[in-house]
Chains A and B, each alone.
Chain A
């Protein structure tokens, strides 16, 4: 098994008392303008975080595309209700599938479905960065980010990829009635490589069994981004991290 190190990261998370990422500009973050209408807020945050952390990794483009992996924790996405409203109005006031099919369905823009694809962070980010290697997308509630990171550590350790991008993205603002707690949005992704491939300051990362992170971030429930954001906050504070099945050491020179 190879030793795995964390070499860069990008965290897009609110600063308390806000529960949203202030000043987030997806175009400035490198997202194609024409794709924005098929990306939910969570997907925009996730893709922006992936782009930023990969581009902050010197030499990343020299890793062959087949050896670059992407591991994502998220939540199921939904197309815009607005895209369905014309079809529903056309179908009449009483729910009737036949009327909906005959009069409503032709009014539904195909982009409604595309925006609702729940692996869109993976789909868009892989295309933008030519990440063709091992991968996965997990919608596992708060566990999602932990599962993605643990799988990424194993993929690097076992030699399936030489560069893994892993983390989570979620946007739960407005879902307070479901969760019964304050909700927030955020994304954090990390670049992991084998120690033998890198020089400079790195942090060793190890994985065991993924677990839900105990406790909630001060900005609110972050869903699949909870563990990745907590890890990013620990790194920003210069600390090591232990939780969710991950152990991340302090900075060492490789």
Chain B
């Protein structure tokens, strides 16, 4: 057996059904044009000055002990009553489990002191019918919500900060392919718990002050949390039932840096490839994109690599980041940010970059500082994760 690789050149063209967005549900700490971060007592003990927390979520009785589950349930339940009949799919990106301070103190801390996750802890939770490790398994939330939807297909994507964007791409492709008739696709995450804070403190990725994406004084990001799902359908089906069309899915591209598990490629090689693949998938030219929602975390090296990649692929296109407004929503970032961009189509807004006051002249990047009362026609949204995974999404005005 051997491969004839002369036939690899060029991307294979596949025609597919047009996919549109007919519903959006999201939860973030605040809107994209206001800084929503504030102090948190638990975070302060770990020298984390500000976090961006979503208010009023834990009323969902089905996930009383799981903040991420509550976030996901809130957005899925919002769209559930209006979902059309047909084969449904649920595509969720998520991250590591949340641990409440009580769980840390009561369960994990004593277990760790013993050097192992002790069996008494497991036995106690099993007796209560709620095995703790299962409670924290990422697929649990997807499985519960998929059952409520009556979904014929579900996925739990765990591709770090690219997870939700990849889930949206997977959901759109499943709809286009005909695997499902309607998909809820997006993500949910919260690292607002002691081990979550600790992870980023150890990494040195958090800002000691406020998030300033692309600013000359940027020094890290704020931890946020959030959830969003897009309701995706084939355009023909949506028009046939008279559904409102909020946006068009145009294309998506994923790539891997293949460089380092914790640092981006210094010249944004993978980021650029994801954007090029998204353009090809959408059959668009670089000049067709009139706004980039950058991953834009506000870390020194991350913003440099992304700015290089954006300039290489798209030139001097207006670029913004939400992370100075409602923080970095980690695995949910790609979904909440795309959702706000789509809402911007209807509101007639192009969102700016809260926190950026003096764009870094070293970055070849056209940062949009303030919102504009004119929506873009085509938005490209970037999401990049540890492990080198990258995903770019392209959505357009209806």
Interface on A for B, CB 8 Å cutoff?
Answer: 1-2, 7-8, 38, 57-60, 62-67, 70, 74, 76, 81-82, 84-85, 88-89, 93, 95, 97-98, 100-101, 105, 108, 110, 112-114, 116-120, 122-124, 126-127, 129-141, 143-144, 147, 151, 154, 158-160, 162-163, 175, 177-178, 193-194, 196-202, 208-210, 254
Contacts and interface: CB of A to CB of B under 8 A. Distances in A.
Contacts of A119: 158-160, 385-387, 389
Given A136-B157, A136-B166, A136-B170, A110 B202 contact: yes
Contact of B261 (A60, A67, A82, A127): A127
A122 B270 CA distance: 14
B153 A127 contact: no
Given A138-B158, A160-B11, A198-B4, 16 more contacts: A7-B3, A62-B8, A64-B9, A70-B256, A100-B45, A110-B202, A113-B202, A122-B159, A124-B261, A127-B258, A136-B166, A137-B387, A140-B158, A141-B137, A160-B281, A178-B131
A122 B155 CA distance: 17
Contacts of B203: 110, 113
A132 B256 contact: yes
A95 B103 CA distance: 11
A97 B109 CA distance: 10
A200 to B, nearest CB: 3
Interface stretch (B114-122, B219-227, B300-308): B114-122
Interface in B308-347: none
Interface in B1-19: 1-5, 7-9, 11-14, 16
Interface in B253-272: 253-262, 269-270
Contact of A105 (B143, B152, B202, B262): B202
Interface of B: 1-5, 7-9, 11-14, 16, 42, 45-47, 96-97, 101, 104-105, 109-110, 112-113, 115-117, 119, 122-123, 126, 131, 133-134, 137-139, 142-143, 152-160, 166, 170, 173, 177, 179, 194, 198-199, 201-203, 253-262, 269-270, 273, 277, 281, 385-389
A231 B217 CA distance: 53
B3 A136 contact: no
A220 B262 CA distance: 34
A90 to B, nearest CB: 11
A177 B143 CA distance: 21
A199 B116 CA distance: 51
Nearest to B92: A140
Rank and list the top 10 A-B pairs by shortest CB-CB distance, nearest first: A159-B12, A200-B1, A59-B3, A123-B387, A62-B5, A123-B261, A139-B158, A119-B387, A95-B105, A126-B256
A164 B138 CA distance: 25
A88 B194 CA distance: 13
Contacts of A254: 1
A66 B170 contact: no
A63 B5 contact: yes
Contacts of A136: 157, 159, 166, 170, 254
Contacts of A95: 104-105, 109-110
Contact of A67 (B8, B202, B258): B8
B254 A135 contact: yes
Given A76-B96, A139-B158, A196-B7, A101 B45 contact: yes
A116 B138 CA distance: 14
